[in-house]
Amino acid sequence: MQLNAKKKPQGQYGIIGWPLGHSKSPLLHNWGLKETGLPGVYVPWPTEPAKLKAFIAEVRARHIRGVSVTIPHKQTVMPFLDGLTDRAKAVGAVNTLFWRDGKLMGDNTDVLGLMAPLAPHKDTLKSALVLGAGGAARAACSALKELGVADIAVANRTASKAEKLAGDFGLRAVPWEERVGVWSLVLNTTPLGMLGDNLGKSPWPASGFGGVSLVFDLVYNPVRTRLIEDAQAAGVACLSGLSMFMHQGLAQFEVWTGKKLDERRARQVLMADMALTGG
């Protein structure tokens, strides 16, 4: 749904992406608004890349209070903003739009969302391979560097994108065909496995977990992706993307409203919905 005069948004918050898919962001943020007694509603706005500039113009015209940004807009939206937080500058991608002193700003809460579930494993993370080279991959590289992981590599089906990302962060690029190896962590930022056209797909061969200690799949819908099922079948520990999604979402809500939501209750809301929908 594109913002326009005929379809005025019924609320002050929402998410943009293309294709938007089955996002749980409306569930989380609408629960947060109700929980805190704040006015407004959070809605999905599927936005084609060609319409991104016009969308941002409507955000300004209607003074939409907060926008979540997902694939493929995390980098392309940046030139249309008035400024970036230090975190967003460091990552080179944004997932959150908010207002500061009348200026439309970009922030990145994905880094916080990634670091929270990885923190308990910090001491055992000697090496990490990031799969993908988009905005989420940039946040992953930033988070891993902040956690102090010594050996971080990037692999992407388009080699030039992996090389560009690796160069930006001072890391190394691994050819996609040579990605299987010994890794403390394999972190998937690609949409492979996501509900929709990518459901049932995996960025990792089922026979390739022999040298892997931990798998973190940022896909959260469904919670049990093909990647996680294969990893668990091989006896590898796994982290679900639902945890990352929840932590980045809670950080977004605080950026927009100044309110902290209860992590335990938020997780219960998300897990209850997954149980009902089979996600």
CA distance 72 to 12: 22
The answer to whether 74 is a known catalytic residue is yes
Name the active-site residue from 74, 89, 145, 260.
74
- C-alpha of 112 from chain center: 10
The β-bridge partners of 253 are none
Q: Which of 226, 145, 148, 146 is nearest to 188 (CA)?
A: 226
Determine the residue type at 173.
A
Residue carrying structure tokens 């940022």 = 218
Instruction: Calculate the dihedral angle through the C-alpha atoms of 115, 26, 197, 139, rounding to the nearest 10 degrees.
Output: -20
Angle at alpha carbon of residue 63, lines to 247 and 16, rounded to 5°: 45
- What gap in Å lies between CA 161 and CA 173, rounded to an integer? 9
Distance CA 95, CA 35 (A): 23
Query: Which residues have a catalytic role annotated?
Result: 74
